[in-house]
Homo-oligomer: A and B are copies of this chain.
Amino acid sequence: MNRVYNFSAGPSMLPEPVLVKAAEEMLDYNGTGMSVMEMSHRSKVYTSIIENAESLLRKLMKIDDSYSVLFLQGGASTQFSMIPLNLFSKYRKADFINTGNWSKKAISEAKLYGTANVIASSEEAKFTYIPEDYKLSEDVDYVHITSNNTLEGTRFMSFPETGNIPLVADMSSEIMSREIDVSRFGLIYAGAQKNLGPAGLTIVIIKNDLIGKHLNITPTMLRYETHSKEKSLYNTPPCYSIYVAGLVFKWLDDMGGVKTIEKINNEKAAILYNFLDESEMFANKVNKKDRSLMNIPFAAPTDELNEKFIKEAEQAGLSTLRGHRLIGGMRASIYNAMPVEGVIKLVEFMKKFELENK
């Protein structure tokens, strides 16, 4: 077996010990004589799996009881409609900071149910920075940001001060990668398939006082209230993905939690950015102080070099480095599960490639 360093933007690398454990327990979880995939979601043993996952998630992100933690389906794309359907309770209007492709999708979906007020955008500069010059509205139900932009490689270093207005953040591509103060947010959501586990699981962390105010056209399955009341067991949840996410949470907790991984993530990103800043071939065009720790787009001067790079990197065991089609070039996604060695190997390869192709 020859594991590769996989720089996919998502689904993406999982910690190897998590996969080993999942494989070991595949036919018989903990002496039950069945796989986690085969268990009734109402059974005692599965209840302990989901409760354990929630409790580790709360511990890792320091989430208190004024928030509900929900294990949902449908990805961030479903949240784009679920959020306005549940939070457009007074003004039917929200402020948006447009920082990229995923922000745009969130904006477009909110418009189905009310007013999406774009108070700032970096679209004119191809989303290479995080806007800081904006005025928040007073007559909005929430303020929405995409805290880390997977395609464009930017992130909010600090978050807007929204006072009494709930701040809503799509953290899909950076959740649990750095310490954040959850109490600053009304709602945090994230697809699991980048930092948390397999695709098919969406995490929502929502302040309890935002629950139960959905529009009456909201499908039952798209009401936060439905899932909050039933502790994510209104219907069959994505059981196996929750189990694997729980293993990832345990892995992270055992290593020292988010504080520790943040340090490692800073180290990993620095290795790559430092090289990019010195390189005469590869460039990252993002405003330095807004650079993402998780998604690092870069490019050589020509499409031919980019293609050659992607191909040769793949052969060297550095997988899935092609950039998103909207951005082009390359992108290294270096989520929590990417070891430091993977980034070191990537930089060594880039140096070699630069020498060979100059």
On A, residues with C-beta under 8 Å from B are: 1-4, 6, 8-14, 16, 19-20, 22-24, 26-28, 31-35, 37-41, 43, 73-78, 80-82, 85, 109, 112-113, 191, 193, 197-201, 216-217, 219-222, 234-241, 244, 317, 319-320
Contact A3 B19 (CB under 8 A): no
Tell me the nearest residue of chain B to A221, going by C-beta.
B78
**Chain B residues with Cβ under 8 A from A31's Cβ?**
2
**Chain B residues with Cβ under 8 A from A237's Cβ?**
199-200
Given known contacts A3-B33, A34-B319, A235 and B11 CB-to-CB distance under 8 angstroms: no
Bound Cα distance A277, B210 (Å)? 54
Tell me the nearest residue of chain B to A77, going by C-beta.
B235
Contact B23 A26 (CB under 8 A): yes
**Chain B residues with Cβ under 8 A from A8's Cβ?**
38-40, 43
Tell me the nearest residue of chain B to A7, going by C-beta.
B40
**Chain B residues with Cβ under 8 A from A3's Cβ?**
27-28, 33-34
Q: How far is the CB of A222 from chain B (nearest CB, A)?
A: 7
Determine chain A's interface SS by DSSP, over half rule: loop
Bound Cα distance A219, B201 (Å)? 19
Tell me the nearest residue of chain B to A8, going by C-beta.
B40
Tell me the nearest residue of chain B to A193, going by C-beta.
B236
Bound Cα distance A35, B9 (Å)? 15
**Chain B residues with Cβ under 8 A from A191's Cβ?**
236
Q: Which of B13, B219, B234 contacts A85 (CB 8 A)?
A: B219
Q: Which of B11, B200, B219 contacts A222 (CB 8 A)?
A: B219
Bound Cα distance A109, B28 (Å)? 38
Bound Cα distance A22, B235 (Å)? 25
Q: How far is the CB of A295 from chain B (nearest CB, A)?
A: 13
Contact A22 B32 (CB under 8 A): no
Highest count of chain B CB atoms <10 Å: which of A1, A75, A219: A219
Bound Cα distance A197, B241 (Å)? 13
Contact B41 A199 (CB under 8 A): yes
Q: How far is the CB of A145 from chain B (nearest CB, A)?
A: 20
- A-B CB contact pairs (8 Å), 14 listed: A1-B28, A1-B33, A8-B43, A11-B38, A11-B41, A19-B35, A23-B23, A23-B27, A37-B198, A80-B221, A81-B219, A199-B236, A200-B200, A200-B237
Q: How far is the CB of A174 from chain B (nearest CB, A)?
A: 16
Tell me the nearest residue of chain B to A79, going by C-beta.
B221
Bound Cα distance A41, B10 (Å)? 8
